[in-house]
Amino acid sequence: MDENRIYTTVQGDMWDSIAYHFYGDVKYIGLLLQNNLDLLETYVFSAGTKVFIPEVPEEYDEDIPEWRR
């Protein structure tokens, strides 16, 4: 993993807040989850957890339902 793409969580971080912070939109939660499989069971982070922040692929399909688009 590229160390420049690692985020160290603070107490209370959640997937949606991390996605919004790095991508400006919560729709990228799935991208974060796909790239951090070892953290899937985590909903609210404690301080010090390392989360990999991938770049968004050009053809990324966030797989959200049609009604939410």
Task: For residue 17, tell me if it sits in a domain.
Answer: yes
Task: For residue 57, tell me if it sits in a domain.
Answer: no
Structural domain for 27, as ranges: 3-52
Encode the chain in three state secondary structure.
Answer: CCHHHEEECCCCCEHHHHHHHHHCCHHHHHHHHHCCHHHCCCCECCCCCEEECCCCCCCCCCCCCHHHC
Q: Which residues pair with 44 in a beta bridge?
A: 14
Per-residue confidence (pLDDT) for residue 32, from 0 to 100: 96
Q: Report yes or no on whether pTM surpasses 0.95.
A: no
Domain count, the chain: 1
The two tokens of residue 37 are: 């499989």
Task: For residue 65, tell me if it sits in a domain.
Answer: no
Per-residue confidence (pLDDT) for residue 65, from 0 to 100: 54
Task: For residue 66, tell me if it sits in a domain.
Answer: no
pLDDT tens-digit profile, the chain (69 residues) = 566 799 999 999 999 999 999 999 999 999 999 999 999 999 999 999 999 999 988 776 666 555 454
- Give the whole-angstrom CA distance, residue 1 versus residue 68: 32
Per-residue confidence (pLDDT) for residue 13, from 0 to 100: 98
